[in-house]
Chain A
Amino acid sequence: EAQVTQNPRYLITVTGKKLTVTCSQNMNHEYMSWYRQDPGLGLRQIYYSMNVEVTDKGDVPEGYKVSRKEKRNFPLILESPSPNQTSLYFCASSAKDSLGTEAFFGQGTRLTVV
């Protein structure tokens, strides 16, 4: 089954404690990205990756890092989480020959930073 898998689904952490949210896709997609979803603001792109070792900033990259060492994985790293990073996070992937759409989304990770 084609899917994008995120872990964990839920996470509560304290300010300043480094964390990583993992994302893996089994569709051999070149493109992957991270979005955060906040009430009234919709989904906003944090970072994206066009292929292995190629990453770049999206609309709201501050406070986040990513890496793309393998095609299937695209972890999101919060080096020093702050309460304003409390949000619902989605990883997405799409094929290089798609029409620029992020057709496959993960189930989401709800992060709370206290």
Chain B
Amino acid sequence: GESVGLHLPTLSVQEGDNSIINCAYSNSASDYFIWYKQESGKGPQFIIDIRSNMDKRQGQRVTVLLNKTVKHLSLQIAATQPGDSAVYFCAVPTRDTGRRALTFGSGTRLQVQP
């Protein structure tokens, strides 16, 4: 089955700097990856996704990079703002027959210092 791990439980950055949050996955057959943001007191919120046939995908101030060789993906946040403070999870869909679920990493808490 899948397992997903994040490299750092906490990341502290200065406002305006770029943030990089890393994630490793175990199943080389994984073909779809998602990043979620969870603010305090709220449920996870979809940020950006990427398919395995891509190396990079950009959104608004966010970029996800996928390195299939080492089974690693990262979320880059440009010009980090206080509103970016949250816990960030990477997730991969479970591939059990007929089942729809996500396997989540343990999360990285991003703290933005003013």
Report B37-59 residues with CB < 8 Å from chain A CB: 41-46, 49, 51
Number of A residues whose C-beta is below 8 Å from B?
26
Interface size class for chain B? 20 to 34
Question: With A42-B105, A42-B107, A59-B101 given, is the CB distance from A99 to B44 under 8 Å?
Answer: no
B61 on interface, CB distance cutoff 8 Å: no
Q: Which of B11-19, B65-73, B78-86, B92-100 contacts A (4 or more CB under 8 A)?
A: B92-100
- The interface residues of chain B lying within 8 Å CB-to-CB of A73 are none
Q: B8 at the A/B interface (Cβ < 8 Å)?
A: no
Closest to A39 in B: B106
Chain B residues packing against A (C-beta within 8 Å) = 32, 34, 41-46, 49, 51, 89, 91, 93-94, 98-102, 104-107
Q: In the complex, are the beta carbons of B42 and A101 less than 8 A apart? A: no
Which candidate, A11-19, A76-84, A105-113, is the interface stretch facing chain B? A105-113
In the complex, chain B residues whose CB is within 8 Å of the CB of A100: 32, 93, 100, 102
Alpha-carbon distance between A99 and B46 when the two chains are bound, in angstroms: 13
Bound complex: CA A107 to CA B42 (Å): 5
Q: In the assembled complex, which residues on chain A have CB atoms less than 8 Å from the CB atom of B91? A: 101
Which of B32, B41, B94, B104 gathers most chain A CB within 10 Å? B104
Chain B: CB-nearest residue to A47: B101
B102 partner, pick from A45, A50, A106, beta carbons under 8 A: A45
User: Contact at A33–B44, with CB atoms within 8 Å?
Assistant: no
Give Cα distance in the complex from A107 to B40, angstroms: 10
